[in-house]
Amino acid sequence: MHLKVDLIPRGPYQGVVIVVDVLRATTTTPLLFEKGLRELFITASLRAAREYAAQGNHLLLGERDGLPPEGFNYGASPADLAKFDFTDKTAVMTTQNGPKTLPIVASAHTVLFGSFYNAQAVSDAALEIALQNNLEEIAIVCAGQEGLEGLDDTLTAGFLAKRIERNFNAKNIGKLEHQHASQLAVHLLRAFPDPQEALVLSAPGQLLQKLNLHEDIAFSSLISQTNAVPVLREVIPWQPSNIYRFENLNR
C-alpha cells in the first residue's frame, strides 16, 4: 500500500483521501457532527452557499478572511461553534481554502476530512476503508493557503501519516511505502513536538491572532477529541460552484 502526502492538492486520486485544512475547515466539520449535525453541504462559492442554504432552509456557516460574511448564521470558529447544539440540523458551509480541494479529490474512492481534532478516528477509518476495499493508496491532501504550502496543514498531515503507518505496521500485513512528501511531513513532527506552536507560526495562525481568535488555534491543536469523521457522500451540480454533501461516517 502507498501512503502519500501532497502539500497542495495535485490529483488525480483513486484510493482514500484525507483532506486537511486544520485552520479551520477540517477541525470545524467533525466538531459540527460531534454536536449533532445531520448533513453538511460545502461549497467554495459565497453565492452558491447563500442560494443553496436559502432554497433548503439550511443554516449558513463560513468565513472570508477569517470572519463570517454578512448574513451568515455562524462563522467558522470551532471554539465558538462548540457552544451550540446542532442536533438534527443541516448546514451549508463555505471557507476560503478547504472547499477548493474538493473538485480535485472528489473522484477518489472515499474522501474524508481530518485534523488533530479527529486524528485517531480519521486515521483508523482511512486504513480500514483502504484494506476492506483492496485499495492501493491513502493520500493525505493539504489544502494549503491560496495555492501555497502551509506549515499548519503539513504538520497535521505528518501526524496523521505517522498514525496510519503505526496502525498498518501493527497489523503485520505487508509493507507501507511512503510517497511524495509523506516522509518530509512525518519528520517535521520532530521540530514541533507541540502542534500548537506550528499552528501559531503558520500563515493562517498569524491571521487568526490578528483577529483575536487565539482560542481557535488552541482548539485546533487538541488531539483526538471526537470520533466524528466527515465523509463525502454526494456531489450536487450547482452554479457557480458544485455543492458537496458530507455526513458523519461514524454516526
120 grid coordinates? 485517531
pLDDT confidence of 66, banded at 50, 70, 90? Answer: very high
State which H helix or E strand residue 28 sits in: helix 25-34
Q: Is the pLDDT of residue 222 over 90?
A: yes
pLDDT score for 35: 98
- Mean pLDDT (the chain) is 96
Q: Please, which residues have CB within 8 angstroms of residue 207's CB and are 6 or more apart in sequence?
A: 65, 66
What is the DSSP pairing of strand 2-6 with strand 177-180? parallel
Count other Cβ atoms within 10 Å, centred on residue 213. 23
CB 145 within 8 A of CB 97: yes
Q: Averaged over 214-235, what is the pLDDT?
A: 98
Q: Is the pLDDT of residue 54 over 90?
A: yes
pLDDT confidence of 231, banded at 50, 70, 90? Answer: very high
pLDDT confidence of 251, banded at 50, 70, 90? Answer: confident
- Domain locations along the chain: 2-248
What is the DSSP pairing of strand 243-248 with strand 230-236? antiparallel
pLDDT confidence of 133, banded at 50, 70, 90? Answer: very high
Q: Averaged over 66-94, what is the pLDDT?
A: 97
pLDDT confidence of 145, banded at 50, 70, 90? Answer: confident
Residue 19 to residue 24: CA distance in whole angstroms: 12
Query: Which of 14, 20, 68 is closest to 199 using CA atoms?
Result: 20
Q: Is the pLDDT of residue 174 over 90?
A: no
pLDDT score for 237: 98
Q: Averaged over 108-117, what is the pLDDT?
A: 98
Phi-psi region of 233 (alpha: psi -120 to 50; beta: other; left: phi over 0): alpha
CB 38 within 8 A of CB 91: no
Q: Averaged over 69-78, what is the pLDDT?
A: 96
pLDDT score for 53: 97
Question: Residue 126 corresponds to which amino acid?
Answer: A
Q: Is the pLDDT of residue 146 over 90?
A: no
Residue 89, Cβ density class (10 Å: 0-12 exposed, 13-18 middle, ≥19 buried): middle
> Would you state the CATH architecture of domain 2-248?
Alpha-Beta Complex (3.90)
- Strands, DSSP E only, in 147-229? 177-180
pLDDT score for 11: 84
For 113-149, give the DSSP string.
EE-STTHHHHHHHHHHHHHHTT--EEEEEE--BTTB-
pLDDT score for 151: 96
Q: Is the pLDDT of residue 179 over 90?
A: no
Total number of residues shown for the chain? 251
Query: Which of 139, 145, 124, 136 is closest to 249 using CA atoms?
Result: 124
Between 197 and 251, name the one with better pLDDT.
197
pLDDT score for 109: 98
